[in-house]
């Protein structure tokens, strides 16, 4: 069976935030909207996504226990859990290694907080492309521009506003989309909130033009051809602008900034659009490398991110549940069928894969094959630990190991 989603339409992302900035709420909203869109045209039995979340909340566990797969506009988004608390730095580190991009949430009132700084530096270490979501725009004291300034002051980065807020605090009603130069407003609140396009309000027009110019200057600076097109025609197509935004996001030349309130359901759909527009597919980031020799820190060879290459994967989380031991694996190259044998090069022995699953918000789905770029949970691995390389026995490789333990980063 061929793969169901092309590699270019896969996004392996994490959501990181200072505690209380809204990571759980944003993740829930994402699963709610994507779950809903996923259900169109498909019959799902059992609980709805929200029911499932209620149950999870009652049980007091996080919904994204390791990785959850969902769909948005023809793309497959795998959300990999990145624990936020500082005590879990090793865990954060572990999961950062396997994701290709991240949503970085900061709070509209507090801006960048100390733990956000720590997580930011960790993501820097793995060159994880990031988009920033300024959450809680509905709260008293929320200030988009102050929060953006805190990104410059505390993280020393080049934030790039893709949106401007319309209204503030409890009057926050929507955003100006600076890429498409239109307004998006939400009607209602909570889960029923629906959104629609609207003209940019008159009082924001000048400001929107000013920020649009900044957006163009910054985004096009990463691409000579686009810059030339701009000088020739005086503008560029939305397509060209988006392409430049993606390029700059991947290289880290700038960090796109969006805003909203996850709790009141304003801004989550544009955030999802930004994930598929600006965060990279698995084959759009520099690939993971092999280790030259056990115990040596050589350059190694870059793994080819393709279905046609031999299978290579990395075990990044082990979970025990009522079904047994689940080994979460990030597949880098090749494909694998349930029942296949793999070589654990870290341990030096072969293991047989039992059943394989993809985890969704409301169910686990058994799959028969996994392909390059996928994240899946395997059953049947008896002696594989977090950080181990799994590969095709005919072509043994050891993947670049995750750096443990993570030194505590001094941010004082």
CB of 202 to ligand GDP, least distance (A): 27
Does 81 count as an annotated binding residue? yes
Position 132 contacts ligand GDP (CB under 6 A): no
Which residue, chain included where needed, has tokens 């190991």?
Answer: 401
Does 360 count as an annotated binding residue? no
Position 29 contacts ligand GDP (CB under 6 A): no
Site for ligand GDP in 260-289 (CB under 6 A): 261-264
Q: Which is nearer to ligand GDP, 208 or 259 (CB)?
A: 259
Position 93 contacts ligand GDP (CB under 6 A): no
Position 22 contacts ligand GDP (CB under 6 A): yes
Position 19 contacts ligand GDP (CB under 6 A): yes
Q: Which is nearer to ligand GDP, 64 or 345 (CB)?
A: 64
Position 111 contacts ligand GDP (CB under 6 A): no
Q: Which is nearer to ligand GDP, 264 or 330 (CB)?
A: 264
Looking at 11, 23, 94, 212, which residue binds ligand GDP (CB under 6 A)?
Answer: 23
| Number of amino acids touching ligand GDP (CB under 6 A) | 16
CB of 197 to ligand GDP, least distance (A): 22
Position 135 contacts ligand GDP (CB under 6 A): yes
Position 169 contacts ligand GDP (CB under 6 A): no
Position 115 contacts ligand GDP (CB under 6 A): no
Range in contact with ligand GDP (rule: CB under 6 A) among 18-26, 48-56, 149-157, 286-294: 18-26
Position 392 contacts ligand GDP (CB under 6 A): no
Position 136 contacts ligand GDP (CB under 6 A): yes
Binding site feature residues: 17-24, 81-85, 135-138
Residues at the site binding ligand GDP, with contacts judged by CB under 6 A: 17, 19-25, 135-136, 138-139, 261-264
Give the residue numbers of the binding site for GTP.
Answer: 17-24, 81-85, 135-138
């Amino acid at each position: 069976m061929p793969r169901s989603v092309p590699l270019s339409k896969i996004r392996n992302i994490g959501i990181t935030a200072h505690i209380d900035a809204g990571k759980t709420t944003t993740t829930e909203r994402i699963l709610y909207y994507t779950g809903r869109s996923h259900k169109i045209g498909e019959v799902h039995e059992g609980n709805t996504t929200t029911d499932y979340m209620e149950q999870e909340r009652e049980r007091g566990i996080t919904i994204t226990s390791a990785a959850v797969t969902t769909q948005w506009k023809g793309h497959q988004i795998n959300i990999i859990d990145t624990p936020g608390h500082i005590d879990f730095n090793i865990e954060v580190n572990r999961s950062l290694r396997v994701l290709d991009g991240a949503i970085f949430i900061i709070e509209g009132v507090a801006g960048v907080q100390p733990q956000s700084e720590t997580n930011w530096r960790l993501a820097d270490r793995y060159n994880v492309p990031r988009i920033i979501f300024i959450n809680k725009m509905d709260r008293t004291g929320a200030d988009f521009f102050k929060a953006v300034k805190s990104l410059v002051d505390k993280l020393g980065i080049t934030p790039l506003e893709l949106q401007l807020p319309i209204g503030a605090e409890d009057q926050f009603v929507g955003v100006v989309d600076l890429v498409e130069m239109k307004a998006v407003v939400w009607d209602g609140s909570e889960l029923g909130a629906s959104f629609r396009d609207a003209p940019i309000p008159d009082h924001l027009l000048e400001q929107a033009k000013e920020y649009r110019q900044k957006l163009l200057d910054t985004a096009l600076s990463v691409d000579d051809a686009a810059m030339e097109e701009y000088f020739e025609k005086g503008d560029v197509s939305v397509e060209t602008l988006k392409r430049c935004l993606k390029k700059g996001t991947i290289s880290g030349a700038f960090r796109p900034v969006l805003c909203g309130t996850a709790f009141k359901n304003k801004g989550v759909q544009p955030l999802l659009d930004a994930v598929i527009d600006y965060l990279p597919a698995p084959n759009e980031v520099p690939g993971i490398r092999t280790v030259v020799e056990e115990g040596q820190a050589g350059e190694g060879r870059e793994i080819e991110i393709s279905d046609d290459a031999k299978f290579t994967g990395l075990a990044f989380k082990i979970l025990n549940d009522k079904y047994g031991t689940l080994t979460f694996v990030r597949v880098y190259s090749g494909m694998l069928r349930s029942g296949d044998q793999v070589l654990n090069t870290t341990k030096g022995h072969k293991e047989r894969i039992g059943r394989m699953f993809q985890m969704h918000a409301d169910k686990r789905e058994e799959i028969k094959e996994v392909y390059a770029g996928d994240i899946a949970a395997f059953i049947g691995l008896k002696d594989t630990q977090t950080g181990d390389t799994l590969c095709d026995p005919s072509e043994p490789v050891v993947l670049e190991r995750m750096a443990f333990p993570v030194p505590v980063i001094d941010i004082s």
